[in-house]
Structure 1
């Protein structure tokens, strides 16, 4: 660990036993539990919003988040003599949620519902509310559809087309029709009223509820087993060795950097889309996610309709399109070609799932 980092660490009221290297950070075993310590380059105002969200969860019975550790001066951000900034957060023994394990997926959906039940009527300042409301989804869909159309014209007019571009044109019509249909139906939905209600109630979304940020908790003995490597860790050998007591819970939720005020069903969509893509749009996974969430936080028909429209929109196709258009187009990696082919091949199965979901609206 660099001297500058050591200097910043002295600003905390903790005793450090072990230090582990992680990607872009250090994991610390301390007398106050496992902590993550890293450089900070974000906005202080944004961090205060994130802190408010996590403190609200903690105060209302959800302790398993990466709460910021405050310095001796009661600050969230620590600074060394050179002006470099750092943050320290609570961290956890555990492993990332396995999206192919149906039981873990169901637990993660239930965990999201529990958080959403708590993340309402959060006491933000007027300024925090104004600067952290979700973007208008209708405008987002319209903008993305224009981008899809522009890229299609660009690819079509190329004289020599590579493998990616030929595949892109092959799949384009189906995906573009989905995008147009989603935008049209969203404009006819209760979206505006639902968003206004979410803002009025100060309902908060995690903003990035994916497997990286869902930690299935383990005790230290399990976490240090040879067959297990904790998320983000580069090595399992500490710079010094000591033993701490074991502790275990259920699920921890981390990394609220993208949290915002908005319709919480968008979190469920983001989680669900990732799971369904990983499992070839298996209907069982989709229905069980909805049921696990709904048992704890019932989903209204208007919310279910928004979930359907979000899933209908071809977000993955748009992302691949956007990456292609903003990259060096003369060479496309085999990985991106395979991504395009995979979502193209999955589209029929996705349609079958969406048909079943639409039938209960």
Structure 2
């Protein structure tokens, strides 16, 4: 153990048996079990509220989470003299959800439904801090947990989030096309982008039109009234299949859900959209798998008509195409990475597969 690590861990009331490095953090064997020491990047304001969310989940009976341990002084984070800020979290012996195994994906879908059932906190810190659809706090929060309420929420914040996002993304796509047309000489990326632009832009316009005639704004307003929260980054990296707690052949998987740092107030099926989109991109938009994942979720937390409508709108938008174009525009355009070219080709290739997915699952026809 290095001296700096030791100095951080000495701020906690634990006995450290051993440590080892892992991805962006340090795993610690202690008298309290397996813990994870992680440096805080960016704002510290969310940490006390995040601690409150973890406490709330455990009080609701959802215990398999990486809650944050407090220091000897009762702080949510350890501050070092050099300005470094660290959190110590409970961790688990296990592995990430295997995206290649449908059984694990179905278990993870059911786990998300269970999580959403308890992530409703009408009078919780998310409302008090004005954390509505944002990744940062609008209120002022200290490390000891005091929170000052933020300003009153604007009506536009409730109804125009997705609309303004899609309008902005479509404008950005047009801007990228204008730039690509001016590039000389053009490379593989530029030619592929221009060939598929009209088709992809049509999908973007279709998503916006569906959104304008949908009840998504009302759904968002109702979700916030009920204090609905989302994980914010529910993907297979943050879903741990716990070792020793289940028998593969006879019992369901035991799952731990980790890394709630991007939690916020939002329509809860936004989590489901994000998770399902990531999986579908890996599986070529297989209708049967997607349908089974939706059913696994709905068997625990039934999906309303408005939520299915929301999911449909989200899937219509060509998210991967926009992200790839945005990445290209913000990068060194003199040299386009092979990874960006591959992502663009995948987005184009999967359009027909996603079209079939939307037709069969949501009865949407472009």
TM-score (structure 2 length as normaliser): 0.87
Structure 1 window deviating more from structure 2 (104-113 vs 338-347): it is 338-347
Q: RMSD of aligned C-alpha atoms?
A: 2.0
Match of 1:328 in 2: 332
Pair 1:291-2:291 in alignment: no
State the SS of the aligned residue for 1:296: coil
C-alpha deviation, 1:80, in angstroms? 2.7
Is residue 242–residue 256 contact of structure 2 (8 Å, CA) maintained in 1?
Answer: yes
1:204-223 mapped onto 2 (5 Å cutoff) = 204-219=229-244
- The residue number in structure 1 matching 2:281 is 277
Q: Deviation digits for residues 37-90 of structure 1, max 9, x if unmatched?
A: 022233232112222222111111111111001111111111234342211001
**Residue equivalent to 1:261:** 265
Q: CA deviation at 1:128?
A: 4.1
User: What do the CA deviations read for 1:107-136 (whole angstroms, capped 9, x no partner)?
Assistant: 000000000000012532476441343571
Whole-angstrom distance in 1 between the partners of 2:196 and 2:323 = 14
**Native 8 Å contact 1:138 1:186 kept in 2:** yes
- Count of matched residue positions in the alignment of Structure 1 and Structure 2: 335
The alignment status of 1:154 with 2:183, answered yes or no, reads no
**Runs (4+) of structure 1 moved beyond 6 Å?**
none
**1:225 is matched with which residue?**
none
- Per the alignment, do residues 123 and 44 of structure 1 end up closer, same or farther by CA in structure 2, a change over 3 Å counting? farther
Q: Is the 8 A contact 1:133 1:199 kept in 2?
A: no
Residue 75 in 1 paired to residue 75 in 2?
yes
Distance 1:95 1:156, change over 3 A: same
* Structure 1: 5+ residue stretches without partners: 223-247
Q: Which residue in the other structure is 1:42 paired with?
A: 42
Change (3 A) 1:277 1:64: same
Aligned position for 2:148: none
Which residue does 2:309 correspond to in 1?
305
CA–CA distance in 2 between the matches of 1:38 and 1:296?
33
Displacement of 1:157 in angstroms is 2.6
Structure showing greater relative contact order (alpha-carbon pairs closer than 8 Å, 6 or more residues apart): 1
Q: What SS is found at the alignment partner of 1:331?
A: coil
Instruction: Tell me the residue number matched to 1:4.
Output: 4
Q: For 1:129 and 1:10, how far apart are their aligned partners in 2?
A: 32
Query: 1:140 matched to which residue of 2?
Result: 165
| 1:1-361 correspondence runs (5 A) | 1-125=1-125, 128-134=128-134, 136-219=161-244, 250-359=254-363
The alignment's TM-score, normalised by the length of structure 1, stands at: 0.88
| Residue aligned with 1:131, SS | coil
Aligned equivalents of 2:122, 2:107: Cα separation in 1: 25
Gaps of 5+ in 2: 135-156
